[in-house]
A and B are shown apart, each in its own frame.
Chain A
């Protein structure tokens, strides 16, 4: 796996801030994320189940967006306003956990950079950063979950979403938990660490390049023979699902949390109720 400079992560692990509070269920603020909220609430419910099964108290503070679209568009003012709102929203929680490496990466790494010239907010961003985790890695690394109670009869393949992989160090954790899902076989995806071409506004600014990238990804997915594609970020999943379906593929696409939570009641991403 390729390793990005993860000094922020390493520092945090060194100062032990990620340890569980003793004596009571940790209070986890669920970062729902815009795409889950808008397109796939089932992922939010799956996250709640997984966190509660792991012994957490889950709260959902009123929230909007982590600000990443503005940040990546070069709009600092809007990003700051959104970041401040998110920092305030989650200040009462022991942890902030979200089913997205991209949004949690924004809060964990980029808020600190955003506020580097503003001492007060930098400190608050730092406190938030230390408590922010991507869902699956939180379950294994912080809550010590070894195995989930779920079953899936079939072969899945897994795409490593860029921010989760390179910003949040998510690689082994989902594979570890998937290995414990009854009946599930994992067929590794060739070039699993290569971007699917979503990239937020990239896919609408440079649709042709994005399409080429996601077509290559679709080819790799189909080459595995898996019947289902999993990943940890809705943006990537919608992008890949959209392309697979346009190409007439029957590969089902889901967020990894849905499989780990054992709740496949929502139709796969991009498929209709009837077809299910």
Chain B
């Protein structure tokens, strides 16, 4: 993406003249902070979790090379490929190369800020590929040819009328007089349109919120379910991510996930959190055949070992911009590059240079609200001040500013003179002020000059050779380059043997960092909590006294909801062993989900009480086509599988996989309520790309079945 950060003042001026943007920001600036405050208040451990989150990231950054190597090894062991990219251009050329090798024509994309950072879409389009953004907000921006204005709510600046106009302009095959007045009309139209793209895509590209060294997994967090369809329907899945996203273990990711959604949207947990590890396995019913991870550096390793290192803890939650009064005044586009708000004011100069992006760290009052909400306690004002120091040292600040500070500083260093000068000023001002009471300007304000143009630093992407051998060579050089840079930063700080031992220890211990007390309660209460939390996110829960009743209950559910009596079921022996034959009108087919399926049924490995979350994995008992394609998803959960926390679910999974002699499944899904979005005017809607209905059958074992009717 081409930067206009140097024109921040002009950008901001334009933004503040835009009444629609102002309306949107006014809604945003109270809505998001309020939701976060409520979510934080509901979790007493939140402040302590912030300390743990910071510590996890600090530990990882101190051993970044070792964790990245572990991650790489484990991706390869799971059958995936890892590519290293020192620069945006290298990353683009790697991805272009993969697409070319697969003869791809259509690429779907999950939301990825790194792909904005490297300007991926334009470079793929140059190769003649059709590229389709599938996050609703990103899709809207793509047809408007606009950049995101927020890292998690990309289209927050638009009104539903603007979106309706765009849909009419672009979706010309639909009747011109169709109704598009409500957010839901827009949502439905986008769903139908994108459904075909998901199904036809050759390559799916997603970002990653975290990378897990222990298992070689990449993690995506979405509310819509678009990321899951993007990564599991096409033959090839490419994960484009950056080096600082790695964390040691599944437990560490779980801790950070507790911080992420609460900080970002004020949700307890996002609807979908998916851990992907390698391509489709032998017994999987669905999933991609090829799995690639592109690890981008693009200036990050250069921050290690400097005062800027702390910014690499960022988990891109957006809380800092949600709470930033400057962002609230000008919106995201004014910042002129990919990352707006306080985090952008720290990162953008690191990637673009302080000459291009120097305005951003200056355009802050240092009110500290960003730091006060940052889940990993990044001292954003302090880091912005460091950029100002660099600017000052490089003599880049406007002359009047330097002169003003210089004169003031010279006096201020001399107490007697300062007092005299101040008194002169005071007396002079008093003479006028007595009468007028106030002045039109503050000291130092006069003569303030500002804008200077900076040359835009970037040229068009150059075309590299994309042959396989050239790619491999480039990737090796890039790998050595990135890891070398990291080691150079770390080497004077640590004892290598001790560092390796610490990493080994952390990877094998699976230490639980901090479990919220909320889920650590007796089983019966835990089940109650699970039900309550699931219902709070609009899932429905039905208690089933015994397994054998499942077919009848499913048939009744479909009929009550006016759904056709057809069901696609996971081809799992347990589901197959149920007696479906007693219901001749119910048509049950076993296998992977198909686009025409309206209702599916799968099995969960666990239910997690702390957030009402279902925990399942790809295999023959579940899979993304069953969980994300239908409008209605029914999930069978044995009541004795209700656990308190994410960590307990990981233990269950590890036991199950060990018993089968397997490692991490290809996809592990945390599902919390139905698919949802707030991308259109911040209105909460369900049924985006994933199911609009999530129905949980909580099956009692014979012994503790509740009395009928309870």
- Taking CB atoms, residues of chain B closer than 8 Å to A193 are 369
The reply to whether A75 and B325 form a contact with Cβ atoms under 8 Å apart is: no
- Taking CB atoms, residues of chain A closer than 8 Å to B12 are 206, 208-209
Stretch at the interface among B293-301, B431-439, B692-700: B431-439
Distance in Å: Cβ of A202 to nearest Cβ of chain B: 5
Judge whether B498 is part of the interface by a CB distance below 8 angstroms. Answer: no
Stretch at the interface among A13-21, A46-54, A58-66, A137-145: A58-66
Distance in Å: Cβ of B470 to nearest Cβ of chain A: 44
The reply to whether B436 and A272 form a contact with Cβ atoms under 8 Å apart is: yes
Distance in Å: Cβ of A71 to nearest Cβ of chain B: 7
Please tell me which one of the listed residues B363, B372, B406 contacts residue A209 in the complex, with CB atoms under 8 A apart.
B363
Complex alpha-carbon distance, A168 and B211, angstroms:
37
Residues of chain B from 293 to 330 with CB closer than 8 A to chain A in the complex: 323, 325-326, 329-330
Distance in Å: Cβ of B342 to nearest Cβ of chain A: 12
Complex alpha-carbon distance, A270 and B369, angstroms:
28
The reply to whether A73 and B397 form a contact with Cβ atoms under 8 Å apart is: yes
Complex alpha-carbon distance, A210 and B9, angstroms:
12
Complex alpha-carbon distance, A34 and B409, angstroms:
13
- Taking CB atoms, residues of chain A closer than 8 Å to B363 are 202, 205-206, 209
Distance in Å: Cβ of A94 to nearest Cβ of chain B: 22
Complex alpha-carbon distance, A200 and B377, angstroms:
24
The reply to whether B426 and A38 form a contact with Cβ atoms under 8 Å apart is: yes
Most buried by A among B329, B389, B414: B329
The reply to whether A72 and B385 form a contact with Cβ atoms under 8 Å apart is: yes
Complex alpha-carbon distance, A38 and B428, angstroms:
11
- Taking CB atoms, residues of chain A closer than 8 Å to B419 are 62, 64
Distance in Å: Cβ of B547 to nearest Cβ of chain A: 49
Distance in Å: Cβ of A196 to nearest Cβ of chain B: 8
Judge whether A271 is part of the interface by a CB distance below 8 angstroms. Answer: yes
Stretch at the interface among B227-235, B440-448, B582-590: B440-448
The reply to whether A213 and B438 form a contact with Cβ atoms under 8 Å apart is: no
The reply to whether B371 and A5 form a contact with Cβ atoms under 8 Å apart is: yes
Please tell me which one of the listed residues B326, B329, B397, B415 contacts residue A64 in the complex, with CB atoms under 8 A apart.
B415
Stretch at the interface among A76-84, A171-179, A222-230: A76-84
- Taking CB atoms, residues of chain A closer than 8 Å to B326 are 206, 209, 213
Residues of chain A from 78 to 120 with CB closer than 8 A to chain B in the complex: 78, 81-82, 85, 113
Complex alpha-carbon distance, A89 and B422, angstroms:
19
Residue of B nearest to A267 (CB): B437
The reply to whether B438 and A242 form a contact with Cβ atoms under 8 Å apart is: yes
Distance in Å: Cβ of A274 to nearest Cβ of chain B: 8
Known contacts A2-B372, A273-B434, A275-B437; A78/B413 CB under 8 A: yes
Residues of chain B from 355 to 385 with CB closer than 8 A to chain A in the complex: 362-369, 371-373, 377, 379, 382, 385
The reply to whether B385 and A69 form a contact with Cβ atoms under 8 Å apart is: no
Judge whether A155 is part of the interface by a CB distance below 8 angstroms. Answer: no
Known contacts A2-B373, A71-B385, A199-B366; A212/B390 CB under 8 A: no
Complex alpha-carbon distance, A15 and B88, angstroms:
50
Residue of A nearest to B414 (CB): A64
- B395-420 to A contact mask, C-beta < 8 Å, 1/0: 00100010001101101111110110
Complex alpha-carbon distance, A242 and B441, angstroms:
9
- Taking CB atoms, residues of chain B closer than 8 Å to A194 are 325, 367, 369
Judge whether A249 is part of the interface by a CB distance below 8 angstroms. Answer: no
- Taking CB atoms, residues of chain B closer than 8 Å to A241 are 438
Distance in Å: Cβ of B326 to nearest Cβ of chain A: 6
Complex alpha-carbon distance, A100 and B616, angstroms:
55
Complex alpha-carbon distance, A13 and B9, angstroms:
43
The reply to whether B401 and A205 form a contact with Cβ atoms under 8 Å apart is: yes
- Taking CB atoms, residues of chain A closer than 8 Å to B444 are 201, 204
The reply to whether A166 and B368 form a contact with Cβ atoms under 8 Å apart is: yes
Residues of chain A from 187 to 218 with CB closer than 8 A to chain B in the complex: 191, 193-195, 197-206, 208-210, 212-213, 216
- Taking CB atoms, residues of chain B closer than 8 Å to A70 are 405, 408-409, 412
Complex alpha-carbon distance, A18 and B444, angstroms:
37
- Taking CB atoms, residues of chain A closer than 8 Å to B416 are 62
Complex alpha-carbon distance, A56 and B445, angstroms:
38
- Taking CB atoms, residues of chain B closer than 8 Å to A210 are 365
Judge whether B47 is part of the interface by a CB distance below 8 angstroms. Answer: yes
Judge whether B391 is part of the interface by a CB distance below 8 angstroms. Answer: yes
The reply to whether A204 and B365 form a contact with Cβ atoms under 8 Å apart is: no
- Taking CB atoms, residues of chain B closer than 8 Å to A73 are 388, 392, 397, 401, 405
The reply to whether B371 and A64 form a contact with Cβ atoms under 8 Å apart is: no
Distance in Å: Cβ of A169 to nearest Cβ of chain B: 11
Please tell me which one of the listed residues A64, A72, A191, A209 contacts residue B418 in the complex, with CB atoms under 8 A apart.
A64
- Taking CB atoms, residues of chain A closer than 8 Å to B366 are 72, 162-163, 199-200, 202
Complex alpha-carbon distance, A241 and B364, angstroms:
21
The reply to whether B377 and A166 form a contact with Cβ atoms under 8 Å apart is: no
Judge whether A167 is part of the interface by a CB distance below 8 angstroms. Answer: yes
The reply to whether B385 and A64 form a contact with Cβ atoms under 8 Å apart is: no
Judge whether B199 is part of the interface by a CB distance below 8 angstroms. Answer: no
Judge whether B425 is part of the interface by a CB distance below 8 angstroms. Answer: yes
Residue of A nearest to B363 (CB): A206
Residue of A nearest to B435 (CB): A272
Complex alpha-carbon distance, A72 and B385, angstroms:
6
Residues of chain A from 1 to 60 with CB closer than 8 A to chain B in the complex: 2-5, 34, 37-39
- Taking CB atoms, residues of chain B closer than 8 Å to A209 are 12, 16, 326, 329-330, 363
- Taking CB atoms, residues of chain A closer than 8 Å to B391 are 74
- Taking CB atoms, residues of chain B closer than 8 Å to A85 are 413, 415
The reply to whether A202 and B412 form a contact with Cβ atoms under 8 Å apart is: no
The reply to whether B13 and A2 form a contact with Cβ atoms under 8 Å apart is: no
Residue of A nearest to B22 (CB): A212
Nearest first, the 3 A-B pairs at minimum CB distance are A199-B365, A74-B388, A74-B392
What are 6 inter-chain pairs, A to B, with CB distance below 8 A?
A38-B443, A72-B366, A72-B388, A74-B390, A204-B445, A206-B326
Instruction: Give the interface of A toward B (CB within 8 A).
Output: 2-5, 34, 37-39, 62-65, 67, 69-76, 78, 81-82, 85, 113, 162-163, 166-167, 191, 193-195, 197-206, 208-210, 212-213, 216, 238, 241-242, 245, 267, 270-273, 275
**5 extra A-B contacts, CB within 8 A, seeds A74-B392, A199-B367, A270-B437:** A38-B425, A195-B369, A200-B365, A205-B450, A270-B438
